[in-house]
Structure 1
């Protein structure tokens, strides 16, 4: 086996650093690894195999390569992410005194078009939740899952990763809060509203005990028909089927529940920093995009309702 180059050793050292120091998720770390592997291959094609052999022209040439490569230019969001990985790597090299200057500091990422999250109305959400009403095992589970998503703003990946012990109850055992594990395995506690509490209690009492004996013993909260943990793909299919039965006339994604949770809270007067905590955002700036959605809704309502709002 060929000995790793000094550049590859530095890349591996950086990946270990971000994994340990920043607690990145497996998926995020895999993206960093792919980005820097592409960067390393490009540098190798330029005859560069050491960190101190990279200069500003190499970083700029790599950015041009990503925009003009034969297999197709990267979309702006992918280009921005890849260049962000490169800039982070070079900051690390400087911080570890492996190089004398950050040669990627002046490399600006492409500007991304502002995309507001898609949220549905309270009435549309109610129609989706009503579409999973029923007393059979699957309906009881689907109702509990969708009510929980809307009540907590959980990501679908967080919801399907829940174990029974993550539902924390009051002195009578009724669900009161849920313990969610977000990106980087960061924990947050989110209250559970009355509708979600009722749906969870019904599922835990009337459906999960029956489902659990159909498969191997598992602490998973949401179980499939064969007793296994519900997957993200299963959850997506449940959401799509419910939206179809609700006859909304358009498709929704699993993240629609999270977007709607945030938008409806802000529209109801919740403080943006409270919503930040509930969503598990590390920066309030990420949460503030939902205030734009709310402002758009208020403007539309004003234009429609006020007698002197229209020319």
Structure 2
């Protein structure tokens, strides 16, 4: 499915924004803004949309964004990670210029979810870095904001925790960088950079953040084993029951993000001796998928499960090559 727009609201900001963006010597050097590890408990879901027209284009000429997206979305792998508490960190030193707290943590798709019109950012914080530069942090957890307006903050200082507030379907941080009131792409902020240049030009990120934010052609968000068929909601909730020797079935599951039209997803389930128990290769995707889940299972044999290590592998086949792959195991 195509995830709904996760726009940051201008009403959290202090007044209207005017002027043109430009990178200069006064631009802040941005550190990674979350206490999580890309590839382990979080992933990049969307980049800044650099296409000025009706199309979409990220800074590497891919489509890991959506129309008009004005920031970077870093997504937690599931709601269990949100409940554990992942800190949102100030990307650079500055002073708190605005905030909001008290908005509920609930998916906009959930029954009974209230309108978020005018509060799309949900709970959030704005930090002013001087010389016209600000960063805005959206979708924080209710009651988690730890700073006050006017407070000076250091780079890496916790501002709050990732939540599910505002215009969002899943827990993530939406980070917007603005200069003189206009949102800029932190990977390529120079206004003269061609939208199709396909490289980072004068990125605002520091070297450590750039390494952690290395571009991927899509990503694996979740993998695991459980005992029965699963759905996206079950994977998002986290905490699926793990199989043991008494399990009626051994089911491997995976959730991927930002797949492309034409991609084929292959899943393989293997036994302790490496023999293939089950294998499936899906038909080519008919369109881009912001997220995609699949599972593959085998029933318990009449003689029961053999003790040992069972494995699973996913491969995303794209234009004749393997674009994404991941393997995982479980011991029974």
Higher relative contact order (CA 8 A, sep 6+): 2
Name the TM-score class by shorter chain.
under 0.3
TM-score of the superposed pair, with normalisation by structure 1:
0.24
